[in-house]
A and B are shown apart, each in its own frame.
Chain A
Amino acid sequence: MKLFKASCSALLISLAASTAFAEISVIVSASNPNSTMDQATVSKIFLGKAKSFPDGSQALPVDQDEGSAARETFNSTVLGKSASQLKSYWSRLIFTGKGTPPKPSGGDAAVKAIVANNPNIIGYIDSSAVDASVKVVHKF
Protein backbone atom coordinates (compact mmCIF):
# COMPACT_ATOMS: atom_id res chain seq x y z
CA MET A 1 0.00 0.00 0.00
CA LYS A 2 2.74 2.37 0.98
CA LEU A 3 4.79 1.56 -2.09
CA PHE A 4 1.70 2.10 -4.18
CA LYS A 5 1.11 5.47 -2.58
CA ALA A 6 4.74 6.43 -3.06
CA SER A 7 4.73 5.49 -6.72
CA CYS A 8 1.43 7.32 -7.19
CA SER A 9 2.86 10.49 -5.75
CA ALA A 10 6.01 10.04 -7.84
CA LEU A 11 3.75 9.73 -10.85
CA LEU A 12 1.83 12.81 -9.80
CA ILE A 13 5.02 14.77 -9.37
CA SER A 14 6.29 13.77 -12.78
CA LEU A 15 2.90 14.51 -14.33
CA ALA A 16 2.76 17.76 -12.45
CA ALA A 17 6.26 18.72 -13.52
CA SER A 18 5.36 18.26 -17.16
CA THR A 19 2.45 20.72 -17.08
CA ALA A 20 2.83 24.48 -16.86
CA PHE A 21 0.18 24.66 -14.12
CA ALA A 22 2.31 22.96 -11.52
CA GLU A 23 4.90 25.69 -11.39
CA ILE A 24 5.56 26.68 -7.78
CA SER A 25 6.10 30.25 -6.62
CA VAL A 26 7.92 31.24 -3.47
CA ILE A 27 5.99 34.20 -2.10
CA VAL A 28 6.26 37.02 0.42
CA SER A 29 3.73 39.72 1.30
CA ALA A 30 3.21 42.47 -1.29
CA SER A 31 4.47 44.87 1.42
CA ASN A 32 7.79 42.99 1.84
CA PRO A 33 10.59 45.16 0.34
CA ASN A 34 12.72 42.19 -0.83
CA SER A 35 12.67 41.37 -4.53
CA THR A 36 13.97 38.14 -6.10
CA MET A 37 15.91 35.58 -4.09
CA ASP A 38 17.96 32.69 -5.46
CA GLN A 39 17.37 29.05 -4.59
CA ALA A 40 20.21 28.97 -2.04
CA THR A 41 18.71 31.88 -0.07
CA VAL A 42 15.24 30.30 -0.04
CA SER A 43 16.71 26.92 0.94
CA LYS A 44 18.70 28.44 3.85
CA ILE A 45 15.58 30.15 5.22
CA PHE A 46 13.49 26.97 5.01
CA LEU A 47 16.23 24.83 6.58
CA GLY A 48 16.61 27.26 9.48
CA LYS A 49 20.17 28.19 8.48
CA ALA A 50 19.25 31.81 7.81
CA LYS A 51 16.81 33.74 9.94
CA SER A 52 16.52 36.95 7.96
CA PHE A 53 15.72 38.20 4.47
CA PRO A 54 18.50 39.71 2.31
CA ASP A 55 17.49 43.19 3.61
CA GLY A 56 18.05 42.07 7.20
CA SER A 57 14.44 41.83 8.37
CA GLN A 58 13.30 38.69 10.16
CA ALA A 59 12.20 35.79 7.92
CA LEU A 60 9.65 33.23 9.13
CA PRO A 61 9.07 30.32 6.73
CA VAL A 62 5.75 28.45 6.64
CA ASP A 63 5.31 25.04 5.06
CA GLN A 64 2.35 23.48 3.32
CA ASP A 65 0.68 20.51 4.99
CA GLU A 66 2.33 17.12 4.68
CA GLY A 67 1.25 15.29 1.54
CA SER A 68 0.51 18.37 -0.56
CA ALA A 69 1.88 18.20 -4.11
CA ALA A 70 3.44 21.65 -3.78
CA ARG A 71 5.31 20.59 -0.64
CA GLU A 72 6.80 17.50 -2.24
CA THR A 73 7.94 19.46 -5.28
CA PHE A 74 9.35 22.22 -3.06
CA ASN A 75 11.24 19.71 -0.86
CA SER A 76 12.80 17.84 -3.74
CA THR A 77 13.50 20.82 -6.03
CA VAL A 78 14.45 23.66 -3.72
CA LEU A 79 15.70 21.80 -0.64
CA GLY A 80 16.94 18.72 -2.51
CA LYS A 81 15.77 16.34 0.21
CA SER A 82 13.19 13.57 0.49
CA ALA A 83 10.50 13.71 3.18
CA SER A 84 12.39 11.13 5.30
CA GLN A 85 15.68 12.98 4.93
CA LEU A 86 14.02 16.20 6.02
CA LYS A 87 12.45 14.50 9.02
CA SER A 88 15.84 13.18 9.99
CA TYR A 89 17.42 16.63 9.43
CA TRP A 90 14.86 18.31 11.68
CA SER A 91 14.91 15.62 14.36
CA ARG A 92 18.64 16.35 14.77
CA LEU A 93 17.79 19.99 15.45
CA ILE A 94 14.49 19.70 17.33
CA PHE A 95 15.90 17.40 19.99
CA THR A 96 18.88 19.65 20.62
CA GLY A 97 16.76 22.78 20.91
CA LYS A 98 18.61 24.20 17.92
CA GLY A 99 15.68 24.68 15.62
CA THR A 100 12.08 23.94 14.77
CA PRO A 101 10.80 23.13 11.28
CA PRO A 102 8.56 25.61 9.40
CA LYS A 103 5.00 25.23 10.60
CA PRO A 104 2.64 23.30 8.28
CA SER A 105 -0.04 25.88 7.54
CA GLY A 106 -2.50 24.35 5.11
CA GLY A 107 -2.62 24.50 1.31
CA ASP A 108 -2.24 27.21 -1.33
CA ALA A 109 -5.09 29.43 -0.13
CA ALA A 110 -4.24 29.27 3.57
CA VAL A 111 -0.52 29.90 2.99
CA LYS A 112 -1.26 32.82 0.66
CA ALA A 113 -3.52 34.44 3.27
CA ILE A 114 -0.91 34.08 6.05
CA VAL A 115 1.87 35.45 3.84
CA ALA A 116 -0.22 38.40 2.58
CA ASN A 117 -0.91 39.59 6.12
CA ASN A 118 2.63 39.51 7.51
CA PRO A 119 5.71 40.97 5.78
CA ASN A 120 8.02 38.64 7.77
CA ILE A 121 6.50 35.41 6.48
CA ILE A 122 7.68 33.50 3.43
CA GLY A 123 5.82 30.57 1.88
CA TYR A 124 5.31 28.77 -1.42
CA ILE A 125 2.16 28.06 -3.44
CA ASP A 126 1.15 26.80 -6.85
CA SER A 127 1.79 29.65 -9.31
CA SER A 128 -1.82 29.53 -10.50
CA ALA A 129 -2.93 30.72 -7.03
CA VAL A 130 -0.74 33.85 -7.01
CA ASP A 131 -2.55 37.22 -6.88
CA ALA A 132 -1.73 40.87 -6.07
CA SER A 133 -1.74 40.32 -2.28
CA VAL A 134 1.61 38.54 -2.50
CA LYS A 135 4.90 39.01 -4.31
CA VAL A 136 6.77 36.19 -6.07
CA VAL A 137 10.46 36.12 -5.13
CA HIS A 138 11.41 32.81 -6.72
CA LYS A 139 9.81 30.46 -9.26
CA PHE A 140 10.60 26.93 -10.33
Chain B
Amino acid sequence: MQTKKIWAPSILALAIASPAMAGDLNINGFLSVGASMLDKNDAEIAGADNQGGFKSDNVLGLQMQKQVNDTTTITGQLVSRGSDDYQTEAAWAFLTYAATDDLDLRMGRLRIPFFQYSDFLEVGYAYNWVRPQEEVYRVPFSSIDGIDLTQRFSTGDIDGSVQFYYGRYQGDFETSTTAYDADFRNFTGLVLSANSGNFGARVSYHQAELTMDTSDATTALGLAVLGASGIATGLGDPSAAEDFNFTGQTSSFYGAALTYDDGTYSAVAEWTALDHESSLLLDDQGWLVGVAGRFGDFTPHLTYSSEADSFDSGNEGKIQELLPLQDEQTSITLGLRYDYDTSTALKFEIQNNDEETADGVDGDSATLYSVAVDLVF
Protein backbone atom coordinates (compact mmCIF):
# COMPACT_ATOMS: atom_id res chain seq x y z
CA MET B 1 0.00 0.00 0.00
CA GLN B 2 2.89 2.29 0.83
CA THR B 3 4.48 1.96 -2.61
CA LYS B 4 1.17 2.76 -4.26
CA LYS B 5 1.10 6.21 -2.74
CA ILE B 6 4.70 7.06 -3.46
CA TRP B 7 4.51 6.06 -7.12
CA ALA B 8 1.96 8.54 -8.28
CA PRO B 9 3.34 11.83 -7.04
CA SER B 10 6.89 10.99 -8.08
CA ILE B 11 5.86 10.11 -11.62
CA LEU B 12 3.65 13.15 -11.88
CA ALA B 13 6.33 15.43 -10.50
CA LEU B 14 8.61 14.04 -13.19
CA ALA B 15 5.96 14.80 -15.78
CA ILE B 16 5.64 18.39 -14.67
CA ALA B 17 9.36 18.99 -14.18
CA SER B 18 10.35 17.82 -17.67
CA PRO B 19 11.29 20.56 -20.12
CA ALA B 20 8.34 21.78 -22.13
CA MET B 21 10.19 21.74 -25.44
CA ALA B 22 10.02 17.98 -25.96
CA GLY B 23 6.27 18.09 -26.48
CA ASP B 24 3.03 19.16 -24.97
CA LEU B 25 1.81 18.01 -21.63
CA ASN B 26 -1.54 16.43 -22.40
CA ILE B 27 -4.10 16.54 -19.66
CA ASN B 28 -7.29 14.53 -20.06
CA GLY B 29 -9.91 13.57 -17.60
CA PHE B 30 -13.10 11.65 -17.10
CA LEU B 31 -15.93 11.99 -14.65
CA SER B 32 -18.90 9.78 -13.87
CA VAL B 33 -21.60 10.74 -11.43
CA GLY B 34 -24.58 8.54 -10.80
CA ALA B 35 -27.43 7.63 -8.54
CA SER B 36 -29.06 4.26 -8.10
CA MET B 37 -31.91 2.73 -6.15
CA LEU B 38 -32.77 -0.88 -5.38
CA ASP B 39 -36.36 -2.11 -4.96
CA LYS B 40 -35.53 -4.48 -2.07
CA ASN B 41 -34.41 -3.57 1.40
CA ASP B 42 -32.45 -6.71 2.18
CA ALA B 43 -30.26 -6.86 -0.86
CA GLU B 44 -27.32 -4.99 -2.31
CA ILE B 45 -26.20 -4.74 -5.92
CA ALA B 46 -23.21 -2.73 -7.06
CA GLY B 47 -23.08 -0.97 -3.69
CA ALA B 48 -26.67 0.31 -3.88
CA ASP B 49 -29.55 -0.38 -1.49
CA ASN B 50 -33.17 0.73 -1.36
CA GLN B 51 -32.27 4.03 0.29
CA GLY B 52 -30.80 5.31 -2.94
CA GLY B 53 -27.09 5.56 -3.55
CA PHE B 54 -25.20 8.49 -4.95
CA LYS B 55 -21.71 7.36 -4.22
CA SER B 56 -20.81 4.00 -5.68
CA ASP B 57 -20.75 4.97 -9.35
CA ASN B 58 -18.96 8.28 -8.83
CA VAL B 59 -15.50 8.28 -10.37
CA LEU B 60 -13.12 11.10 -11.22
CA GLY B 61 -9.98 10.45 -13.22
CA LEU B 62 -7.19 12.77 -14.30
CA GLN B 63 -4.54 11.74 -16.74
CA MET B 64 -1.34 13.50 -17.61
CA GLN B 65 0.79 12.41 -20.48
CA LYS B 66 4.07 13.85 -21.62
CA GLN B 67 6.29 12.89 -24.49
CA VAL B 68 9.83 13.17 -23.15
CA ASN B 69 11.62 12.43 -26.41
CA ASP B 70 10.97 10.63 -29.71
CA THR B 71 10.63 7.23 -28.11
CA THR B 72 9.64 7.83 -24.50
CA THR B 73 6.35 8.94 -23.00
CA ILE B 74 5.27 9.10 -19.39
CA THR B 75 1.65 8.65 -18.35
CA GLY B 76 0.02 9.01 -14.98
CA GLN B 77 -3.64 8.47 -14.21
CA LEU B 78 -5.10 9.31 -10.82
CA VAL B 79 -8.51 7.90 -10.06
CA SER B 80 -10.76 8.78 -7.17
CA ARG B 81 -13.69 6.42 -6.62
CA GLY B 82 -16.81 6.96 -4.56
CA SER B 83 -16.85 3.25 -3.77
CA ASP B 84 -13.44 3.73 -2.09
CA ASP B 85 -14.52 6.82 -0.12
CA TYR B 86 -12.77 8.98 -2.73
CA GLN B 87 -9.31 7.80 -1.82
CA THR B 88 -7.13 8.74 -4.75
CA GLU B 89 -5.14 5.98 -6.34
CA ALA B 90 -2.74 5.79 -9.26
CA ALA B 91 -4.52 3.41 -11.61
CA TRP B 92 -1.79 3.88 -14.17
CA ALA B 93 1.68 5.39 -13.76
CA PHE B 94 4.06 4.21 -16.38
CA LEU B 95 6.81 4.96 -18.82
CA THR B 96 6.32 3.91 -22.43
CA TYR B 97 9.31 3.19 -24.61
CA ALA B 98 8.46 2.83 -28.29
CA ALA B 99 11.09 0.34 -29.42
CA THR B 100 9.71 0.46 -32.96
CA ASP B 101 6.61 1.97 -34.55
CA ASP B 102 4.72 -1.17 -33.58
CA LEU B 103 6.42 -2.36 -30.41
CA ASP B 104 5.87 -0.64 -27.06
CA LEU B 105 7.48 -1.47 -23.77
CA ARG B 106 5.71 -0.09 -20.69
CA MET B 107 6.98 -0.12 -17.14
CA GLY B 108 5.31 1.00 -13.92
CA ARG B 109 1.79 0.65 -12.63
CA LEU B 110 -0.39 -0.96 -15.27
CA ARG B 111 -4.00 -2.01 -15.59
CA ILE B 112 -4.39 -5.81 -15.68
CA PRO B 113 -5.94 -6.60 -19.07
CA PHE B 114 -8.32 -9.31 -17.83
CA PHE B 115 -11.40 -8.14 -19.71
CA GLN B 116 -12.54 -6.67 -22.99
CA TYR B 117 -13.18 -3.37 -21.21
CA SER B 118 -10.36 -3.56 -18.62
CA ASP B 119 -8.23 -0.82 -20.13
CA PHE B 120 -10.98 1.79 -19.85
CA LEU B 121 -13.09 0.18 -17.14
CA GLU B 122 -13.63 3.44 -15.31
CA VAL B 123 -14.11 5.66 -18.35
CA GLY B 124 -17.89 5.30 -18.44
CA TYR B 125 -18.09 7.45 -21.56
CA ALA B 126 -16.32 4.72 -23.54
CA TYR B 127 -19.16 2.19 -23.15
CA ASN B 128 -22.96 2.13 -22.96
CA TRP B 129 -23.59 0.64 -19.52
CA VAL B 130 -23.63 2.64 -16.29
CA ARG B 131 -21.11 0.05 -15.06
CA PRO B 132 -19.83 -3.25 -16.45
CA GLN B 133 -21.79 -6.35 -15.40
CA GLU B 134 -20.58 -7.66 -12.05
CA GLU B 135 -21.22 -11.28 -13.11
CA VAL B 136 -18.25 -10.98 -15.48
CA TYR B 137 -16.29 -7.97 -14.18
CA ARG B 138 -15.81 -9.62 -10.81
CA VAL B 139 -12.09 -9.35 -10.04
CA PRO B 140 -11.72 -7.00 -7.05
CA PHE B 141 -8.40 -5.40 -8.04
CA SER B 142 -7.32 -3.89 -11.31
CA SER B 143 -3.67 -2.82 -11.43
CA ILE B 144 -0.25 -4.42 -11.02
CA ASP B 145 3.24 -3.04 -10.78
CA GLY B 146 5.30 -4.50 -13.58
CA ILE B 147 6.17 -4.36 -17.24
CA ASP B 148 4.41 -5.16 -20.46
CA LEU B 149 5.23 -5.50 -24.13
CA THR B 150 2.71 -4.73 -26.85
CA GLN B 151 3.35 -5.66 -30.46
CA ARG B 152 0.86 -4.27 -32.98
CA PHE B 153 0.41 -5.93 -36.33
CA SER B 154 -1.48 -5.19 -39.50
CA THR B 155 -1.92 -7.59 -42.40
CA GLY B 156 -4.43 -6.95 -45.14
CA ASP B 157 -7.81 -6.29 -43.55
CA ILE B 158 -6.79 -7.44 -40.09
CA ASP B 159 -5.08 -5.33 -37.47
CA GLY B 160 -4.44 -6.21 -33.90
CA SER B 161 -1.96 -6.61 -31.09
CA VAL B 162 -0.26 -9.12 -28.83
CA GLN B 163 0.37 -8.02 -25.26
CA PHE B 164 2.51 -9.80 -22.69
CA TYR B 165 2.88 -8.59 -19.11
CA TYR B 166 4.62 -9.58 -15.91
CA GLY B 167 4.36 -8.07 -12.46
CA ARG B 168 3.10 -8.30 -8.93
CA TYR B 169 0.02 -7.16 -7.04
CA GLN B 170 0.30 -6.19 -3.40
CA GLY B 171 -2.75 -4.68 -1.81
CA ASP B 172 -6.28 -5.43 -0.74
CA PHE B 173 -8.36 -8.31 -2.00
CA GLU B 174 -11.85 -7.03 -1.34
CA THR B 175 -14.95 -9.16 -0.97
CA SER B 176 -18.39 -7.77 -0.12
CA THR B 177 -17.58 -7.97 3.58
CA THR B 178 -13.81 -7.91 4.09
CA ALA B 179 -10.57 -6.58 2.64
CA TYR B 180 -7.82 -9.21 2.90
CA ASP B 181 -4.08 -8.47 2.68
CA ALA B 182 -2.97 -9.98 -0.60
CA ASP B 183 0.33 -10.56 -2.36
CA PHE B 184 -0.06 -12.04 -5.85
CA ARG B 185 3.33 -12.91 -7.32
CA ASN B 186 4.55 -13.89 -10.76
CA PHE B 187 1.48 -12.22 -12.16
CA THR B 188 1.66 -12.79 -15.88
CA GLY B 189 -0.56 -12.99 -18.92
CA LEU B 190 -0.92 -12.88 -22.66
CA VAL B 191 -3.62 -11.05 -24.62
CA LEU B 192 -4.27 -11.41 -28.32
CA SER B 193 -6.72 -9.06 -29.97
CA ALA B 194 -7.63 -8.56 -33.60
CA ASN B 195 -10.02 -6.41 -35.59
CA SER B 196 -11.28 -6.82 -39.10
CA GLY B 197 -13.88 -4.46 -40.47
CA ASN B 198 -16.85 -4.49 -38.11
CA PHE B 199 -15.65 -7.52 -36.15
CA GLY B 200 -13.28 -7.78 -33.23
CA ALA B 201 -11.97 -10.73 -31.24
CA ARG B 202 -9.91 -11.03 -28.09
CA VAL B 203 -8.53 -14.00 -26.18
CA SER B 204 -6.45 -13.85 -23.04
CA TYR B 205 -4.78 -16.01 -20.40
CA HIS B 206 -3.53 -14.81 -17.02
CA GLN B 207 -2.06 -16.44 -13.95
CA ALA B 208 -0.65 -15.53 -10.55
CA GLU B 209 0.50 -17.18 -7.34
CA LEU B 210 -1.85 -16.17 -4.57
CA THR B 211 -0.79 -15.47 -1.02
CA MET B 212 -3.44 -13.99 1.26
CA ASP B 213 -3.84 -13.50 4.96
CA THR B 214 -6.83 -15.53 6.12
CA SER B 215 -5.76 -15.89 9.76
CA ASP B 216 -8.58 -13.71 11.11
CA ALA B 217 -11.34 -16.15 12.07
CA THR B 218 -13.94 -13.38 12.21
CA THR B 219 -13.69 -12.97 8.42
CA ALA B 220 -15.57 -15.20 5.97
CA LEU B 221 -12.43 -16.79 4.53
CA GLY B 222 -10.82 -17.14 7.96
CA LEU B 223 -13.93 -18.93 9.18
CA ALA B 224 -13.93 -21.12 6.08
CA VAL B 225 -10.35 -22.23 6.82
CA LEU B 226 -11.42 -23.40 10.28
CA GLY B 227 -14.62 -24.95 8.90
CA ALA B 228 -12.69 -26.83 6.23
CA SER B 229 -10.37 -28.36 8.77
CA GLY B 230 -13.31 -29.44 10.96
CA ILE B 231 -15.22 -30.95 8.06
CA ALA B 232 -12.11 -32.70 6.71
CA THR B 233 -11.59 -34.35 10.08
CA GLY B 234 -15.26 -35.34 10.11
CA LEU B 235 -14.86 -36.94 6.67
CA GLY B 236 -11.90 -38.91 7.99
CA ASP B 237 -9.59 -37.16 5.51
CA PRO B 238 -7.77 -34.36 7.39
CA SER B 239 -5.37 -33.82 4.46
CA ALA B 240 -8.30 -32.57 2.34
CA ALA B 241 -8.16 -29.35 4.37
CA GLU B 242 -4.60 -28.59 3.23
CA ASP B 243 -5.65 -26.79 0.10
CA PHE B 244 -7.96 -24.40 1.96
CA ASN B 245 -5.41 -21.62 2.25
CA PHE B 246 -3.45 -19.22 0.05
CA THR B 247 0.22 -20.03 0.25
CA GLY B 248 1.30 -19.39 -3.30
CA GLN B 249 -1.13 -21.64 -5.20
CA THR B 250 -1.66 -20.67 -8.80
CA SER B 251 -4.93 -19.14 -9.99
CA SER B 252 -5.65 -18.90 -13.71
CA PHE B 253 -7.98 -16.63 -15.61
CA TYR B 254 -9.24 -17.30 -19.13
CA GLY B 255 -11.10 -14.77 -21.25
CA ALA B 256 -12.56 -14.65 -24.75
CA ALA B 257 -14.63 -11.92 -26.36
CA LEU B 258 -16.23 -11.14 -29.71
CA THR B 259 -17.45 -7.72 -30.75
CA TYR B 260 -19.40 -6.37 -33.70
CA ASP B 261 -20.09 -2.75 -34.59
CA ASP B 262 -21.40 -1.55 -37.95
CA GLY B 263 -21.99 2.02 -36.76
CA THR B 264 -25.69 1.47 -36.14
CA TYR B 265 -25.88 -1.93 -34.45
CA SER B 266 -23.31 -3.33 -32.10
CA ALA B 267 -22.96 -6.52 -30.10
CA VAL B 268 -20.55 -7.91 -27.55
CA ALA B 269 -20.13 -11.42 -26.16
CA GLU B 270 -17.61 -12.08 -23.42
CA TRP B 271 -16.79 -15.31 -21.61
CA THR B 272 -14.41 -15.64 -18.66
CA ALA B 273 -13.37 -18.42 -16.29
CA LEU B 274 -11.38 -18.53 -13.07
CA ASP B 275 -9.56 -21.68 -12.05
CA HIS B 276 -8.07 -21.67 -8.54
CA GLU B 277 -5.60 -24.23 -7.24
CA SER B 278 -6.59 -23.17 -3.73
CA SER B 279 -9.94 -24.64 -2.70
CA LEU B 280 -10.83 -21.59 -0.64
CA LEU B 281 -11.96 -19.71 -3.74
CA LEU B 282 -14.44 -21.52 -5.96
CA ASP B 283 -13.73 -21.96 -9.65
CA ASP B 284 -16.28 -20.12 -11.70
CA GLN B 285 -17.43 -18.97 -15.10
CA GLY B 286 -19.03 -15.66 -15.99
CA TRP B 287 -20.27 -14.51 -19.37
CA LEU B 288 -22.38 -11.83 -20.96
CA VAL B 289 -24.10 -11.11 -24.25
CA GLY B 290 -25.16 -7.57 -25.12
CA VAL B 291 -26.68 -5.78 -28.09
CA ALA B 292 -27.13 -2.07 -28.77
CA GLY B 293 -28.51 0.14 -31.52
CA ARG B 294 -27.38 3.69 -32.22
CA PHE B 295 -30.18 5.94 -33.47
CA GLY B 296 -28.96 9.50 -33.72
CA ASP B 297 -28.04 10.52 -30.19
CA PHE B 298 -29.93 7.63 -28.58
CA THR B 299 -28.47 4.21 -27.92
CA PRO B 300 -30.80 1.64 -26.34
CA HIS B 301 -29.07 -1.53 -25.18
CA LEU B 302 -29.85 -4.92 -23.67
CA THR B 303 -27.46 -7.28 -21.88
CA TYR B 304 -27.78 -10.71 -20.26
CA SER B 305 -25.06 -11.90 -17.94
CA SER B 306 -24.49 -14.96 -15.81
CA GLU B 307 -22.02 -16.23 -13.22
CA ALA B 308 -21.86 -19.63 -11.56
CA ASP B 309 -19.36 -21.21 -9.15
CA SER B 310 -18.40 -24.86 -9.39
CA PHE B 311 -17.00 -27.27 -6.83
CA ASP B 312 -13.71 -29.17 -6.93
CA SER B 313 -13.81 -32.94 -7.22
CA GLY B 314 -13.19 -35.31 -4.30
CA ASN B 315 -13.32 -34.46 -0.62
CA GLU B 316 -12.24 -30.85 -1.31
CA GLY B 317 -15.46 -30.41 -3.29
CA LYS B 318 -17.53 -31.99 -0.52
CA ILE B 319 -16.02 -29.54 1.95
CA GLN B 320 -16.68 -26.61 -0.42
CA GLU B 321 -20.35 -27.64 -0.66
CA LEU B 322 -20.72 -27.39 3.10
CA LEU B 323 -19.01 -24.00 3.43
CA PRO B 324 -20.98 -20.79 2.79
CA LEU B 325 -18.99 -19.87 -0.33
CA GLN B 326 -21.05 -20.64 -3.41
CA ASP B 327 -22.55 -17.93 -5.61
CA GLU B 328 -24.71 -18.19 -8.68
CA GLN B 329 -26.47 -15.26 -10.30
CA THR B 330 -27.82 -13.85 -13.53
CA SER B 331 -28.88 -10.38 -14.53
CA ILE B 332 -30.69 -8.62 -17.34
CA THR B 333 -29.83 -4.99 -18.03
CA LEU B 334 -31.96 -2.70 -20.16
CA GLY B 335 -30.61 0.78 -20.69
CA LEU B 336 -30.63 3.92 -22.76
CA ARG B 337 -27.63 6.10 -23.48
CA TYR B 338 -28.17 9.64 -24.71
CA ASP B 339 -25.20 11.52 -26.18
CA TYR B 340 -25.86 15.07 -25.06
CA ASP B 341 -22.82 16.34 -26.95
CA THR B 342 -19.55 14.82 -28.15
CA SER B 343 -18.12 14.59 -24.65
CA THR B 344 -21.14 14.02 -22.40
CA ALA B 345 -23.39 10.99 -22.15
CA LEU B 346 -26.50 10.59 -20.03
CA LYS B 347 -27.46 7.03 -19.09
CA PHE B 348 -30.57 5.36 -17.72
CA GLU B 349 -30.59 1.74 -16.73
CA ILE B 350 -32.82 -0.93 -15.21
CA GLN B 351 -31.09 -4.08 -14.04
CA ASN B 352 -32.91 -7.14 -12.79
CA ASN B 353 -30.54 -9.22 -10.75
CA ASP B 354 -31.45 -12.80 -9.85
CA GLU B 355 -29.25 -14.32 -7.16
CA GLU B 356 -29.98 -18.03 -7.17
CA THR B 357 -27.36 -18.70 -4.54
CA ALA B 358 -25.48 -16.20 -2.41
CA ASP B 359 -22.78 -17.37 0.02
CA GLY B 360 -24.14 -20.90 -0.19
CA VAL B 361 -27.79 -20.11 0.65
CA ASP B 362 -30.81 -19.34 -1.54
CA GLY B 363 -30.57 -15.82 -2.84
CA ASP B 364 -33.10 -13.20 -3.78
CA SER B 365 -33.92 -11.22 -6.86
CA ALA B 366 -33.98 -7.44 -6.99
CA THR B 367 -34.20 -4.61 -9.48
CA LEU B 368 -31.72 -1.77 -9.59
CA TYR B 369 -32.56 1.58 -11.19
CA SER B 370 -29.62 3.77 -12.16
CA VAL B 371 -28.93 7.10 -13.80
CA ALA B 372 -25.48 8.41 -14.60
CA VAL B 373 -23.71 11.22 -16.39
CA ASP B 374 -20.36 10.40 -17.99
CA LEU B 375 -17.97 13.04 -19.28
CA VAL B 376 -14.56 13.06 -20.88
CA PHE B 377 -12.50 16.22 -21.07
Contact = CB atoms under 8 A, between A and B. Distances in A.
Is B truly associated with A?
yes
Nearest to A52: B101
Contacts of A44: 154, 159
Interface in A65-97: 66, 80-88, 91-92, 94-97
Contact of B342 (A49, A51, A84): A84
Interface residues of B, number: 36
Contacts of A49: 152, 154, 159
B114 interface: no
Contacts, number: 72
B120 A96 contact: yes
B159 A96 contact: no
B340 interface: yes
B229 interface: no
Contact of B26 (A51, A66, A86, A100): A100
A84 B340 CA distance: 10
Given A84-B297, A88-B126, A100 B341 contact: no
B61 interface: yes
Contact of A95 (B73, B77, B159, B342): B77
Contact of A97 (B73, B154, B340): B73
Interface string B246-280: 00000000000000000100000000000000000
Contacts of A86: 342
Given A49-B154, A91-B123, A95-B77, A84 B339 contact: yes
B341 A2 contact: yes
A91 B120 contact: yes
A92 B75 CA distance: 15
A6 B126 CA distance: 22
B342 A83 contact: yes
B318 to A, nearest CB: 44
| A2, A84, A85: residue with the most chain B Cβ atoms closer than 10 Å | A84
Interface in B90-134: 92, 94, 96, 101-102, 106, 111, 119-120, 123, 125-127
A87 B159 CA distance: 20
B207 interface: no
Interface string B44-87: 00000000000000000101010000000101010000000000
A39 to B, nearest CB: 13
Given A49-B154, A100-B65, A92 B94 contact: no
B187 interface: no
A50 interface: yes
Interface string B183-226: 00000000000000000000000000000000000000000000
Contacts of B123: 91-92, 95
A51 B101 contact: yes
A97 B376 contact: no
Contacts of A97: 63, 65, 73, 75, 77, 92, 94, 96, 106
Nearest to A58: B101
B126 A92 contact: yes
Interface residues of A, number: 25
B233 interface: no
B119 A96 contact: yes
Contacts of A98: 119, 150
Contacts of B96: 97
Contact of A50 (B65, B154, B296): B154
Contacts of A50: 154
Contacts of A83: 342
B190 to A, nearest CB: 17
Contact of B263 (A6, A80, A100): A80
Given A66-B342, A87-B343, A95-B120, A81 B263 contact: yes
A82 B262 CA distance: 12
Contact of B63 (A2, A85, A88, A95): A95
A66 B342 CA distance: 10
A62 B111 CA distance: 29
B287 interface: no
A55 to B, nearest CB: 13
Nearest to A67: B342
Nearest to A56: B101
21 contacts: A2-B340, A49-B152, A49-B154, A80-B263, A81-B263, A82-B263, A82-B294, A83-B342, A85-B294, A88-B126, A91-B30, A91-B120, A91-B123, A91-B126, A91-B376, A94-B28, A95-B28, A95-B120, A97-B75, A97-B106, A100-B26
5 closest A-B pairs (Cβ-Cβ)? A97-B75, A96-B119, A84-B339, A83-B342, A51-B101
Interface of A: 2, 6, 44, 49-52, 66, 80-88, 91-92, 94-98, 100
